[in-house]
Structure 1
Amino acid sequence: MEFEYQEEFIRNSRGVQLFTCRWLPFHSPKALVFLCHGYGMECSEFMKGCGTRLANYGYAVFGIDYEGHGRSLGARCYIKKFDNIVNDCDHFFKSICSQEEYREKRRFLYGESMGGAVALLIHKKGPTFWHGAVLVAPMCKISEKVKPHPMVITILTKVEDIIPKWKIVPAKDVIDSAFKDPVKREEIRHNKFIYQDKPRLKTALEMLRTSMSLEDSLSEVTLPFFVLHGEADTVTDPEVSRALYERASSVDKTIKLYPGMWHGLTSGEPDDNIEIVFSDIIAWLDKRIEDDSFVKLQPVPNPTPAIEQFPAMASNVTINGQKPPKTRSHASYLCGWKGRRMHHHSAM
């Protein structure tokens, strides 16, 4: 199936320029899928496989690089407030849903690692707006085995407003333990848009607080979801996904644990494993757009003014990965906490 890839820059409510991209089938899409990437990651290259696979199966896929991530502006991987990420995604995603050609389409969130937390918090802002979520090794609870000692949190909290951007949080290079396939591992390591330095103090604390808050409110999750996790994941604990599945109030919920697979289910496994994972994802999505007994549509609100496009900036357009002659412009992780002290994996 043919699709078109587009890029565009927008400006958030704080005046920061953010990068967005989309993979669009040439026919009317089955449904809309909105990507929430992991900590330190980005959409255009790292999540390209996800975008192209879903577009090939008829889904319109939209991604955004968080402030300070990927090709968006801002201090590299500095998260002053986790709510800023959630609000930026929420505004952008709903601005897409409000467009005339998409108003009657079903709407799904897709989150990997820290992006799983982003997706769940977007859902909490409008519990009946979204028709479902795909959550890949999501950051939604800290395993009891690796939760930081309260004293460590207290000490760091006392200085977070003094040295918020300092890269002082102990961190391990998680790429080796997250991505099984050595070729894919090196491609990820050489992606210039992926942040691989130590986490900033404020960033680490914001993600910790977000995880702990989500852990206390898993029962408030009500949307249909499919949570996927590799059983051999040493970056995030598969029991975290099991806790989400068991405690969520959703009537329609599915969990699948993959024996022998690592953290990077959709990007770091051998090709055969990745195809298995995406086959499961697409089957889950297809079932929920074909069966009217699932979630009913909620009317899409009017477009929010919190996102500003740059109409004078031409988008980068490709068709099935190839750039055609330019004819028009389009204007339309936390991966885990390891050890007794607070160690944040900085690759996702």
Structure 2
Amino acid sequence: MDEHVLTGTRGPLTAYTWPHRPRPRYVALLVHGYGEHAGRYEKVADVLAGHGAAVFAVDHVGHGRSAGERVVIEDFEDVVTDVHTVAGLARAAHPGLPVVVIGHSMGGLIAARHAQRYGDELAALVLSGPVIGVWQLPGRLLALPEIPDTPISPSALSRDPAVGAAYATDPLVWHGPMKRPTLEAFVRTLETVAEGGDVGPLPLLWLHGDDDRLVPPDGSRVGVERLSGGRLTERIYPGARHEVFHETNRSEVFADVTRFLDGVLAG
């Protein structure tokens, strides 16, 4: 993938593009989750590029190769603005192409808010294991006098042990405790999205593992159904954990995504 340095709301950001067909059909904007980075989505980008997408992504502030104190996000509205900056880069490179936003976990929260703010610029929204609706973790941690140093368990990500092993040794992944400003920002933005209204006729695909213990699907359902303006497609995968794009049934997940996008593009 090629790297681009952009000016973000809180410092330099590293954005990425992947090789694509000479005449792509659409733009796909990948929005990564908490503590990780866009480079973990290389397989997703490859699948989408093979499907005809020009794929773009960015490391959020405090994540990956972008500037900022590690995993500190003080205001998710700034991150949404950063994602919109990358969308502008994509539109300048591929004018006139429909734009699809695909957000995972924390990236699902960012993508949902992006759709509330800029939905008229989008062709579709895909949310994977999204932090949206009812998510108890921030409130529980903020009630403690000190945030415990309990990193995400690699085994919670996927039934594929290779995924957890790669995550555990990835130097660009944050393996320390969550930060209080980020937890407070999560609480505020969950409320903002809940109060921000639905996305109208924008087609929405919701993907979730039914054994996701990091972001339980029942809590996300509350937010997804509130966000959807009526054009909701959902795929809940039995036995799958948090990262459905890295799960043992990832081929099924990718087929569901490309089938959904084919319908959007045909429409």
> 1:153-196 deviations in whole A, cap 9, x for unaligned?
5887xxxxxxxxxxx42235332222221122101111111111
Alignment correspondent of 2:112: 120
Alpha-carbon separation, structure 2, partners of 1:95 and 1:262: 33
Q: Structure 2-normalised TM-score?
A: 0.92
Q: Which runs of 5+ in 1 are unaligned?
A: 157-167, 292-348
Relative contact order (C-alpha < 8 Å, sep 6+): which is higher? Answer: 1
Alignment correspondent of 1:221: 199
Shift of 1:95: 3.0
Equivalent of 1:285 in 257, 261, 265: 261
Equivalent of 1:93 in 87, 96, 108: 87
Alpha-carbon separation, structure 2, partners of 1:284 and 1:73: 35
Alpha-carbon separation, structure 2, partners of 1:249 and 1:188: 32
Alpha-carbon separation, structure 1, partners of 2:181 and 2:135: 21
Shift of 1:80: 2.0
Alpha-carbon separation, structure 2, partners of 1:80 and 1:147: 14
Q: Tell whether 2:103 aligns with 1:111.
A: yes
Q: How does 1:128-139 map to 2 (within 5 A)?
A: 128-139=120-131
Identity of aligned residues (%): 26
Alignment correspondent of 2:7: 11
- Say if 1:86 and 1:187 are closer, same or farther in 2 by CA, change over 3 A: same
- Say if 1:275 and 1:243 are closer, same or farther in 2 by CA, change over 3 A: same
Alignment correspondent of 1:83: 77
Paired AA for residue 54 in structure 1 = L
Alpha-carbon separation, structure 1, partners of 2:71 and 2:142: 20
User: Whose helix fraction is larger, Structure 1's or Structure 2's?
Assistant: 2
Paired AA for residue 179 in structure 1 = S
Q: Structure 1-normalised TM-score?
A: 0.71
Paired AA for residue 191 in structure 2 = M
CA contact (8 A) 1:178 1:234 kept: no
Shift of 1:41: 0.8
Which is higher, the Rg of structure 1 or of structure 2? 1
Paired AA for residue 115 in structure 1 = G
Alpha-carbon separation, structure 2, partners of 1:62 and 1:184: 22
Alpha-carbon separation, structure 2, partners of 1:141 and 1:251: 17
Q: Tell whether 2:20 aligns with 1:25.
A: yes
- Match of 1:205, SS state, is helix
> 1:235-273 deviations in whole A, cap 9, x for unaligned?
111113322343234232111111111111112x22xx0
> 1:23-53 deviations in whole A, cap 9, x for unaligned?
1313211100001100111012x11111111
CA contact (8 A) 1:107 1:131 kept: yes
> 1:134-157 deviations in whole A, cap 9, x for unaligned?
10011112246x6736xx85887x
- What is the RMSD of the two structures over their aligned residues, measured on CA atoms? 2.0
